[in-house]
Every structure is written in structure tokens, then in C-alpha cells.
């Protein structure tokens, strides 16, 4: 059996992955809060840990891996959207979950084994809160239930900070009912215009952190193998999950291996609406970027490093995938190459695995390329429609050839204004022109618009 090694954030070392039960390997990944479209950064953990899911299924067998990713469908952002739009909360969350599924399906992500909604596990959350109170790790105050951080000596181990350091260096909510500034909310009261459930502490709703602890316990048990998510969740969300889960179930240890993916940038800058470089997955899909191309770019950087989305990377990824798809046309995939499996087994080295795919392609191992790429969720038939329909028809090819000839004539005549107009027209239409010693070569970029070429003759 292939040995897998993973970098465990909690121990800060790369460790051999030894599942608690090889017949039931269990993984939990924190999912989205469903109030709006998933942005490009939200897609990174989906793609990364979908690839880990595929690797685990390959090594241990598809029937021996359980993958849980939740939906947070009770949250103040959802409440705010309901208030702004006048729509029922359930309509908003159902619609958003549908969007999420469509967008992640487009990226080639497999559906997890279970996708629990937080609102279906309120009873389990209340029961866990009661257990924490009984064990002296939580307390009720003014309709709230709060976790007593000082009652868990290991608090801060995941993020590598002491409680006192965190208080000194972080903004924390100070409320009169808290015993300690770092204590966090497990349950809070709800007003009449907010969703709420009956509880021993009055009508209320859960705090964010208790959701994942209750759902993972119900679906995976008190101890499971892997807990994963974005690095932005390491503190406070994952730190709080560990505290409340270990205190509710002493001796369980909760999750044994913690994996965190780094953040995403766009053209070298942090993605933000203020910079105008904020993209949802749907934005990119509607701009003509195939989901498979988005996936390839995401996997081209190791998950532990910041990933930079650029138009140049997407263009190169599309060209590579188109070439590979042409190469494997009509080929029956073989089992994945041992070198690709070894790269993924080495702390999910997707960049190394892609390098191995390039090697297989260069050596003409068409069956090996097809089978190995599938392990990364690439070159699968379900994702290939874009490559089949994106090529130009004869009329478009003839038009581009005429325009390239016109550009060459303008250059010879030193009519630089005309040559520049044609160059800019190609760019606006989505035609990528590359001048070589053998002449001009061209490809079509995502979002190609033939109509923008017609006025250039």
C-alpha cells in the first residue's frame, strides 16, 4: 500500500498518515456559509481537499473513505440578507447551496460523502453545550452559553500562541457576561426577527464554532483522521473546535491530522473588492474560463503556499489541457503512474504531480497520462466540453488569417497605426497572437468574441 505523508499543522511536522481505521478513513473539511456566491478563494480548499479525497480513495478504496463538508446555514450574514431582500432564510440558503454545487461541480470536485446543514443538527449542538456545562468547561449567562477557555490547558496549541498573548495582541469581544475576554460563544439569544430554537437557556441559535464539533461528532465520531480548511480558519475557528470537542469527549483527541491551505492572490495582490480584483467562481466561468482550467491553475501551486491567479497562468493552463486532451483522444486510461501517486502522497504535492503529467505527455504515454490526470480531477470526460466546442470554425480561421496578413502588410508599409489597431483588435476579441520565426501563431483565449474581429478588415 502507498504510504502517505502529510504536514500536520498541529505538530508542525510532516508525519506518516496512519488512519485510525483503514477500513473507514474519515475526513472533515469546513464548508461555506451559504449567503452568496463562492469566490475564487473559497474554491481553493474545495479543489485541494477534493484531490486529497481522490488520493485517499485510490489508496484505501472508494468504499473506505468518508468525507464530510458542512454548510453553515444559520449566520448573521444570512439574517442580514433576508432582512435586506425580504426573502425567507430557507429560500436564500437553498438557492446558495444550489449555486455552490453547480460551481464546484464545474471545477470537477466530487461531492463529499455527507454535506450536513447546521440547522439539521441543532439538537446535537444543544446536547454538546449541556455536556460542556456539566463538565465545567462552559457556563450560561444572560441567555448565552460560553466556553471557559482557561479550563482547557492546551488552548492555543494549534495556532502556537498562549491565551495571554492572544488577549494582548488581538481584538476580542468584551461583554459583561464573560468571565474572561477570550471566552467564546456556544449559544446566543435570538430576537423575534431572527431564527431561533428552544433551549434550556431560552430561544436562541448556535455560535459558529459549535456547529462543526457537533456535526463531526455525529457523522465521524469523537476521534477521526483529518480535519482541513483554509489557514484563515486556524484561529479562532479550529482552535475553538479542538477545545470544545476535546472537553466534551475527554481522551478522544478529536482530529489527528490538521491540514491548512494558504490564501489566494490575484495578479500578485490580495483579492479584494476595493482593488477591483474580486472574482467569484461564477464570474470566471461566465468570462469563459473553463472549470478545468481554474482547477489546473489552483493545483499548480502547493496548497501550503499562497496561490496567485493570473490571466497568463490561465492561458497557459488552457493550452496545456487542450494539447493533452488532443493527445489522449480515444485512449483508454491506465492505472495512475506510480510517480504521480508518489508526488501526491508526499504531502499532496500537486505541482510535482503536474510536472509528472508533463513528463508522461512528452514521453507519449497517453494511457498513463489519462489515468494519472484523473487522479487530480483533470482530463475527465465530464469536464471536456469546453475543449470540444472552443475551436474556431473555418470562417473564423479565414478571417483571422486575413487580419494577420493585413497586419503584416501594415508593418511592411510602416503603417504602425494600422498595425497597432489590428494588434489591439486581436486582444479585445480574445485572439492571442505570438510572432515566431516561422510566422504568426494564434490561439483563442477564454471569452473569444468573433464579432469584435469583423470591423477590423
Nearest in space to 31 (alpha carbons), one of 216, 203, 183, 168: 216
> Span 69-94, mean pLDDT?
93
Percent of the chain predicted with pLDDT > 70: 96
pLDDT tens for 440-452 read 888 777 667 888 8
Q: How confident is the model at residue 169 (pLDDT cuts 50, 70, 90)?
A: very low
pLDDT tens for 189-212 read 998 888 999 999 999 999 989 999
pLDDT at 176 over 50: yes
Instruction: Specify the pLDDT at position 269.
Output: 86
Alpha-carbon gap, residue 152 to 244, rounded angstroms? 9
Residue pair 257/225 in contact by the 8 Å Cβ criterion: yes
pTM of the model: 0.85
Residues 6 or more apart whose Cβ sits within 8 Å of residue 126? 187, 197, 199, 200
Domains along the chain with CATH numbers: 5-261 (3.40.50.620), 264-389 (no CATH), 394-453 (no CATH)
> Span 233-238, mean pLDDT?
96
Q: What are the backbone dihedrals phi and psi of residue 245, each rounded to the nearest 5 degrees, phi first?
A: -70, -45
Nearest in space to 261 (alpha carbons), one of 46, 58, 28, 69: 46
Phi/psi-derived region of residue 334, left when phi > 0, alpha when psi is between -120 and 50, beta in every other case: beta
Residue pair 145/129 in contact by the 8 Å Cβ criterion: yes
Whole-number average pLDDT of the chain: 92
> Span 56-72, mean pLDDT?
98
> Span 402-407, mean pLDDT?
89
Nearest in space to 205 (alpha carbons), one of 191, 193, 192, 189: 189
Q: How far is CA 413 from the centre of its chain?
A: 52
pLDDT tens for 342-379 read 999 999 999 999 999 999 999 999 999 999 999 999 99
**Who has greater pLDDT, 262 or 439?**
262
Q: What are the backbone dihedrals phi and psi of residue 25, each rounded to the nearest 5 degrees, phi first?
A: -75, 130
Amino acid at each position: 500500500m502507498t504510504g502517505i505523508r502529510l504536514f500536520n499543522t498541529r505538530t508542525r511536522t510532516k508525519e506518516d498518515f496512519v488512519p485510525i481505521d483503514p477500513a473507514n478513513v474519515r475526513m472533515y473539511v469546513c464548508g461555506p456559509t451559504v449567503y452568496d456566491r463562492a469566490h475564487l478563494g473559497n474554491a481553493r480548499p474545495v479543489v485541494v481537499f477534493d484531490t486529497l479525497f481522490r488520493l485517499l480513495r485510490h489508496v484505501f478504496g472508494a468504499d473506505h473513505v468518508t468525507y464530510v463538508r458542512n454548510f453553515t446555514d444559520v449566520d448573521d450574514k444570512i439574517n442580514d440578507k433576508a432582512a435586506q431582500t425580504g426573502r425567507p432564510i430557507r429560500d436564500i440558503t437553498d438557492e446558495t447551496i444550489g449555486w455552490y454545487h453547480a460551481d464546484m461541480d464545474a471545477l470537477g470536485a466530487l461531492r463529499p460523502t455527507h454535506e450536513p446543514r447546521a440547522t439539521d443538527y441543532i439538537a446535537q449542538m444543544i446536547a454538546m453545550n449541556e455536556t460542556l456545562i456539566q463538565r465545567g468547561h462552559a457556563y450560561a449567562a444572560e441567555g448565552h452559553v460560553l466556553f471557559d477557555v482557561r479550563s482547557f490547558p492546551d488552548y492555543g496549541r494549534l495556532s502556537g500562541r498562549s491565551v495571554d498573548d492572544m488577549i494582548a495582541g488581538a481584538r476580542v469581544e468584551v461583554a459583561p457576561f464573560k468571565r474572561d475576554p477570550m471566552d467564546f460563544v456556544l449559544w446566543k439569544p435570538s430576537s423575534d426577527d431572527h431564527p431561533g430554537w428552544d433551549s434550556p437557556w431560552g430561544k436562541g441559535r448556535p455560535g459558529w464554532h459549535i456547529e462543526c464539533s457537533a456535526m463531526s461528532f455525529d457523522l465521524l465520531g469523537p476521534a477521526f483522521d483529518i480535519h482541513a480548511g483554509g489557514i484563515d480558519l486556524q484561529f479562532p475557528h479550529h482552535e475553538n473546535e479542538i477545545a470544545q470537542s476535546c472537553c466534551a469527549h475527554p481522551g478522544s483527541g478529536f482530529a489527528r491530522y490538521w491540514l491548512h491551505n494558504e490564501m489566494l492572490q490575484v495578479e500578485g495582490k490580495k483579492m479584494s473588492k476595493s482593488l477591483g480584483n474580486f472574482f467569484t467562481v461564477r464570474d470566471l466561468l461566465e468570462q469563459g474560463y473553463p472549470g478545468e482550467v481554474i482547477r489546473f491553475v489552483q493545483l499548480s501551486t502547493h496548497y501550503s503556499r499562497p496561490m496567485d491567479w493570473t490571466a497568463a497562468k490561465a492561458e497557459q493552463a488552457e493550452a496545456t489541457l487542450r494539447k493533452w486532451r488532443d493527445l489522449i483522444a480515444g485512449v483508454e486510461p491506465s492505472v495512475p503512474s506510480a510517480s504521480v501517486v508518489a508526488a501526491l502522497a508526499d504531502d499532496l504535492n500537486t505541482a510535482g504531480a503536474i510536472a509528472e503529467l508533463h513528463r508522461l505527455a512528452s514521453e507519449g504515454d497517453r494511457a498513463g497520462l489519462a489515468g494519472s490526470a484523473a487522479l487530480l480531477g483533470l482530463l475527465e470526460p465530464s469536464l471536456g466540453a469546453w475543449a470540444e466546442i472552443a475551436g474556431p470554425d473555418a470562417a473564423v480561421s479565414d478571417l483571422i488569417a486575413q487580419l494577420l496578413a493585413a497586419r503584416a502588410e501594415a508593418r511592411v508599409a510602416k503603417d504602425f497605426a494600422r498595425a497597432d489597431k489590428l494588434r489591439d483588435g486581436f486582444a479585445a476579441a480574445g485572439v492571442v497572437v505570438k510572432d515566431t520565426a516561422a510566422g504568426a501563431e494564434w490561439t483563442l483565449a477564454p471569452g473569444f468574441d468573433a464579432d469584435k474581429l469583423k470591423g477590423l478588415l
